[in-house]
């Protein structure tokens, strides 16, 4: 998968379109990612102790990786990524500036 944990991505479809966020977690098998502050779902939390109120918390839900573009840390543009082999190592490069991402 081309997007990894720690990347900053731009959302290109859905209700959070045009927003940016940091990838908190990647799920390569499902081709989904969890992005900070994106696709928030309300979750009801039960009270932990008697007498306490339950509360509603907002948690991000995973989104499909095809709905995002990587923001290149080198040139700052939303980009597609490619790969190249350098010294037998596969590195991910930005298609816009050609630098390693």
The binding site for Zn ion (CB under 5 A) comprises 72, 74-75, 94, 96-97
CB of 11 to Zn ion, least distance (A): 18
| Residue nearer to Zn ion on the CB measure, 37 or 82 | 82
Those residues with Cβ within 8 angstroms of residue 73's Cβ, 6 or more apart along the chain or in another chain: 8, 101
DSSP character at residue 39: S
CB of 73 to Zn ion, least distance (A): 8
Label the pairing between strands 40-45 and 55-60: antiparallel
CB of 95 to Zn ion, least distance (A): 8
């Amino acid at each position: 998968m081309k997007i990894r944990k720690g990347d900053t991505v731009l959302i290109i479809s859905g209700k959070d379109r045009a927003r940016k966020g940091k990838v908190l977690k990647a799920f390569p098998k499902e081709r989904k990612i969890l992005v900070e502050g994106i696709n928030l779902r309300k979750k009801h939390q039960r009270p932990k102790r008697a007498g306490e109120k339950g509360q509603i918390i907002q948690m991000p839900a995973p989104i499909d990786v095809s709905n995002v573009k990587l923001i290149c840390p080198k040139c700052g543009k939303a980009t597609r990524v490619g790969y190249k082999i350098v010294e037998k190592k596969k590195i991910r490069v930005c298609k816009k500036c050609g630098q390693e991402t």
